[in-house]
A and B are shown apart, each in its own frame.
Chain A
Amino acid sequence: MGANPQLNAQGELQHLLTIEGLPRSLLIHILDTAEGFVAVNQQEVRKVPLLRGKAIFNLFFEPSTRTRTTFEIAAKRLSADVINLNISASSQSKGETLLDTVDNLAAMQADMFVVRHAQSGAAHMIARHVAPHIHVVNAGDGRHAHPTQGLLDMFTIRKYKGEFHNLRVAIVGDVLHSRVARSQIHALTTLGVPEVRVIAPKTLLPGDMGQMGVQVYHDLAAGLHEVDVVIILRLQNERMRGARLPSSQEYFKYYGLTAEKLAYAKADAIVMHPGPMNRGVEIDSAVADGEQSVILPQVTFGIAVRMAVMSILAGNQG
């Protein structure tokens, strides 16, 4: 398993599974292409004929209305046919294996699979299995990666900050369980952001964080000091049950982003969140809805970025 499974023999993007290992030029190409689609989304007819006749299957083994919807809108604006499949874990365990499902859909002339799964590596496994003309987009696998989210975050940062090479970015929260954080870290370091910080209690950080090229902080104020971009991660309620945190109240007190804490960052710092937000747990409403928040633009840009990814993939032959 030596070669990068995301690239075809010509070194072009065949699947988008993770940002790790992708060259900087490719990330820039995706972001630039997305700029073109932002313009499309402002047209009278918000649709281009690029993927006319292509069948894109949204395979969601883990429910997520939001992400599925943005992929669906993106595919439809590219004129592709979109088929949504929500495959619950229970029907999986009743005989048909994951790959049986994939084989069956491939037999229906699928051109692209957009995959969301609760297990790290699921998209890689499907990409390894499918015929060479089928493209796989990872829409989130376990704790591993959520590359389109990472890319739309980079798009947002570039929109508001212009460049990457002079930025200080802080990621706050449950890095351990977060595929979003991993994709952001790889994207930020690949794009040349000199200082990426993660801020969390030790129970929400993986064991070997330093090797990923980030600085670890346990104190929110210290970690936010003079940063340009603050990314807040979602804290899932089940984390309170696994002896990782005592309560959401204590978490909010020490790690929740309030206006007072945000003041440690640069005055023009932007605040991002991949959604959906837990107001009063990881972020205060005043900040979420405040002037520095770019959380809603993130969602808008997400459609353009996903259009860019899908059209670049569809144009590359296996």
Chain B
Amino acid sequence: MKIQIKQGRIIDPQSGLDQVGDLCIAAGKVLAIGETPEGFHPNKVIDASGLVVCPGLIDLAVRLREPGNEYRATLESELLAACAGGVTSLSCPPDTEPPLDETGLVEMLKFRAKNLNLAKVYPIGALTQKLAGERLTEMAELRDAGCVGFSQADAAITDTHVLMRALEYAATFDMTVWLRPQDAYLARGGVAHDGVVAARLGLPAVPPTAETIAVMTALLLVRDTGARVHLCRLSSAAAIDMVRQAKAQGLPVSCDVSTQHLHLSEMDIGYFDPNCHLIPPLRSLRDRDAIRLALAEGVIDALCSDHTPVDDDTKQLPFGETEPGAAGVELLLPLNLKWAEEKALTLVKALASITCGPARVLGLDAGRIALGLAADICVFDPDAWWRVESGALKSLGKNSPFMGYEVRGKVRYTLVDGQLVFEQHEACTSPYNSRK
């Protein structure tokens, strides 16, 4: 299969490339960038004039809900949603039922995902058995089965001794440990940031200290053990400052934030909007502004969707009883572009946080456009406005705090290994088209 993507604006954040030209793909790999070689006879030609051609997006946190929660979403529905969002590679946290703590489960997930021929799935294995925070999993075996990192998902390890041993063991095999930093005791029972909104609405609160104490613990253990740690879903300005300093000192740490924390604050809870019940909680406007700045500076390595499809029944409850999480793999690109526009960033710079940035966290040679590299490509219309609503989302999870938002940036084609896995032709109609 040979594909020619004609006259698109080719952007590669890794190399800084930003030029209009052709992208030629053969045998699943990139054959030519810029000029179409003589004698190249494509089976398919994609007219990309007016469109952006960039590396397929990489999302560090997409819950696929398999195994165990197929009533909420399936591997197929969520991988289709990922492709519709231009995401060609994703990692999924181990908090499935049962958790990804055995090689068989990981192999089955990899096998099923591969057969679907959609986005590539890179599982994060469980750091401890059943995520109970007590006994280590067979990390080396799990790595051989396909795990690219190990984490506790949202279940913290309360026993610091276990955490230290887990980091030491992971360091032995040069594996990255992903930690979602939150002190279990300080966060206990909390459902909102310890600020003015929680005070007003009478919601049990999680102080930012719950995050900073856990980050400090993690950083000190990194120093001692030499383990590589990726801090997931940071939410507070104070925690980001700690990571900034740790990086300056050369510690092997990286971090990410979610699209929700990039754009929203505690204020968005409004009148108990259950779609704003998130882990960690949405924090103050000051925290949000710090996140927006640190992502632009590169202190934060990646932006992820933290995609968590939740069914209506578990969202239609009083705020504190609802299941936390937001669906959003299809909003990763438009919310990245929204941030770029608001911060006046170039596309090259903005797209790095959802392409080469997360690729480095995963240790993959992906998230870039280079000759001979797998042709994982996203082609999107940067000027198409669309409205976030149930019918516009392929994911079975309709729980988005961005429902009703008008967003810009619509994926037209997604290619994985040179195969077209998603295409959408019809032009978006929106009142904003004429204005912009």
Q: Do chains A and B touch in the complex (CB under 8 A)?
A: yes
The chain A residues found within 8 Å of chain B, CB to CB, are 1-2, 5, 20, 97-99, 117, 119-122, 124-125, 129, 141-145, 179, 182, 206-209, 211-212
In the complex, how many angstroms separate the beta carbon of A87 from the nearest chain B beta carbon? 13
In the complex, how many angstroms separate the beta carbon of B238 from the nearest chain A beta carbon? 15
Q: Is A209 touching B199 in the complex (CB atoms < 8 A)?
A: yes
A15 and B195 CA atoms in complex are apart in Å by 27
| B317 / chain A contacts, CB cutoff of 8 Å | 97-98, 119, 125
In the complex, how many angstroms separate the beta carbon of A89 from the nearest chain B beta carbon? 10
| B201 / chain A contacts, CB cutoff of 8 Å | 120-121, 144
| A145 / chain B contacts, CB cutoff of 8 Å | 202
B272 in complex: contacting residue of A20, A125, A206, CB < 8 Å: A125
Is B242 part of the contact surface with A, judged by Cβ < 8 Å? no
B320 in complex: contacting residue of A5, A124, A142, A207, CB < 8 Å: A142
Q: Is B321 touching A208 in the complex (CB atoms < 8 A)?
A: no
**A121-B319, A129-B316 known; A212 vs B200 contact (CB < 8 Å):** yes
Q: Is B318 touching A122 in the complex (CB atoms < 8 A)?
A: yes
A209 and B198 CA atoms in complex are apart in Å by 10
7 A-B pairs within 8 Å (CB atoms) are namely A120-B201, A124-B271, A125-B319, A141-B202, A182-B200, A207-B195, A208-B199
| B202 / chain A contacts, CB cutoff of 8 Å | 120, 141-145, 179, 182
Is B232 part of the contact surface with A, judged by Cβ < 8 Å? no
| B198 / chain A contacts, CB cutoff of 8 Å | 206-208
Q: Is B272 touching A120 in the complex (CB atoms < 8 A)?
A: yes
| A124 / chain B contacts, CB cutoff of 8 Å | 271-272
Q: Is A120 touching B319 in the complex (CB atoms < 8 A)?
A: yes
**A207-B194, A207-B207 known; A125 vs B199 contact (CB < 8 Å):** no
Most buried by A among B203, B204, B205, B271: B271
Is B297 part of the contact surface with A, judged by Cβ < 8 Å? no
In the complex, how many angstroms separate the beta carbon of B263 from the nearest chain A beta carbon? 16
Q: Is B318 touching A125 in the complex (CB atoms < 8 A)?
A: yes
B273 in complex: contacting residue of A1, A117, A182, A208, CB < 8 Å: A1
**A1-B271, A124-B272, A207-B207 known; A141 vs B199 contact (CB < 8 Å):** no
A30 and B199 CA atoms in complex are apart in Å by 26
Q: Is A125 touching B316 in the complex (CB atoms < 8 A)?
A: yes
Q: Is A206 touching B205 in the complex (CB atoms < 8 A)?
A: yes
| A121 / chain B contacts, CB cutoff of 8 Å | 201, 203, 271-272, 318-320
Most buried by B among A2, A20, A207: A207
| A211 / chain B contacts, CB cutoff of 8 Å | 196, 199
- Chain B positions 332-364 with a Cβ under 8 Å from a chain A Cβ: none
Is B313 part of the contact surface with A, judged by Cβ < 8 Å? yes
Q: Which 8 A-B pairs have the closest CB atoms?
A: A143-B202, A121-B272, A119-B318, A144-B202, A206-B199, A122-B318, A121-B319, A207-B194
A120 in complex: contacting residue of B270, B313, B318, CB < 8 Å: B318
Using CB atoms, name the residue of chain A closest to B276: A1
Using CB atoms, name the residue of chain B closest to A123: B318
Using CB atoms, name the residue of chain A closest to B318: A119
Using CB atoms, name the residue of chain B closest to A175: B199
Per-residue 0/1 for B261-278: is the Cβ within 8 Å of any A Cβ (1 yes, 0 no)? 000000000111110000
In the complex, how many angstroms separate the beta carbon of A19 from the nearest chain B beta carbon? 11
Using CB atoms, name the residue of chain B closest to A183: B202
- Chain B positions 177-230 with a Cβ under 8 Å from a chain A Cβ: 194-196, 198-205, 207
In the complex, how many angstroms separate the beta carbon of A139 from the nearest chain B beta carbon? 14
**A5-B271, A120-B203, A182-B202 known; A208 vs B318 contact (CB < 8 Å):** no
Using CB atoms, name the residue of chain A closest to B273: A1
Q: Is A97 touching B313 in the complex (CB atoms < 8 A)?
A: yes
| A129 / chain B contacts, CB cutoff of 8 Å | 316
Using CB atoms, name the residue of chain A closest to B189: A242
A4 and B243 CA atoms in complex are apart in Å by 40
A124 and B201 CA atoms in complex are apart in Å by 11
In the complex, how many angstroms separate the beta carbon of B302 from the nearest chain A beta carbon? 30
Using CB atoms, name the residue of chain A closest to B313: A97
In addition to A1-B270, A208-B198, 7 A-B residue pairs with Cβ atoms within 8 Å of each other are A119-B319, A119-B320, A121-B271, A125-B274, A142-B202, A207-B207, A208-B195
A41 and B195 CA atoms in complex are apart in Å by 43
Most buried by B among A5, A117, A143, A182: A143
Q: Is A143 touching B271 in the complex (CB atoms < 8 A)?
A: no
Q: Is A208 touching B272 in the complex (CB atoms < 8 A)?
A: no
In the complex, how many angstroms separate the beta carbon of B194 from the nearest chain A beta carbon? 4
In the complex, how many angstroms separate the beta carbon of A116 from the nearest chain B beta carbon? 12
| B272 / chain A contacts, CB cutoff of 8 Å | 120-121, 124-125
In the complex, how many angstroms separate the beta carbon of A135 from the nearest chain B beta carbon? 17
| B319 / chain A contacts, CB cutoff of 8 Å | 119-121, 125
| B321 / chain A contacts, CB cutoff of 8 Å | 119
- Chain B positions 260-317 with a Cβ under 8 Å from a chain A Cβ: 270-274, 313, 316-317
